[in-house]
Amino acid sequence: MPNCSGCRAYMSVTGKKTGQFQGEGTNAQHADQIRVLAFTMGVTSPRDADTGQATGKRRFQPITIIKEWGAASPQGLEACATNEDLSTVKIEFIKMKATGEEYVSQTVHLTDATIVDISRFIGDAEAAVDLQVGFTDAGGLERWSFMFQKIEVDDADGKTSFVDKW
């Protein structure tokens, strides 16, 4: 996740069968989006132990988010259970300008994705500590993991981008 001291993240998901997943935003500006409480992403470039030279193709780990239970939860479970193709998954990281106005500082856009794992939990002390959210604030939480055919990362602050597909 970008340097996001005090930032928030929201996600939009569109399935090829389900269509747009229900929004769970708590304010009018993000009503059509799903609030993301935590985000992880990783890529590995395999290396030869002796030489340090690349030995194969890069491998992305599943992108994982944590969200509260909500209207999109049954849609996510259905998409995972049926291996539904998700045409787009967009995660926006929101920061505040000095004026107090919100702006999208970074976007992660997945194309031809699938939900490969969903874990639902209540009372996960590790998750609550990591998220700095109390049990009563968070209620039930879910961990969704996505694999994808294409990824785009755009950083508005630095005006940089990354694209990879296979």
Domain ranges of the chain: 8-43+56-165
Q: Between 9 and 125, whose confidence is greater?
A: 9
- Tell me which long-range contacts 139-143 makes (C-beta under 8 A, separation of at least 24): 139/68, 139/69, 140/68, 140/69, 141/37, 141/66, 141/67, 141/68, 141/69, 142/66, 142/67, 142/68, 142/69, 142/73, 142/76, 142/118, 143/64, 143/65, 143/66, 143/117, 143/118, 143/119
Structural tokens at position 112: 């031809």
pTM of the model: 0.85
How far is the C-alpha of 31 from the C-alpha of 27, rounded, in Å?
6
pLDDT level of residue 52 (50, 70, 90 thresholds): confident
pLDDT digits 0-9 by tens, 107-149: 999 999 999 999 999 876 465 545 554 444 557 999 999 999 9
Please determine, looking at this structure, whether the domain spanning 8-43+56-165 carries the CATH number 2.30.110.20: yes
How far is the C-alpha of 118 from the C-alpha of 64, rounded, in Å?
9
Kindly give, in sequence order, each residue whose CB lies less than 8 Å from that of residue 9, ignoring residues fewer than 6 positions away.
1, 35, 36, 39, 65, 91, 92, 93, 94
Residues pairing with 10 in the sheet: 35, 92
pLDDT digits 0-9 by tens, 74-116: 999 999 999 999 999 999 999 998 898 999 999 999 999 999 9
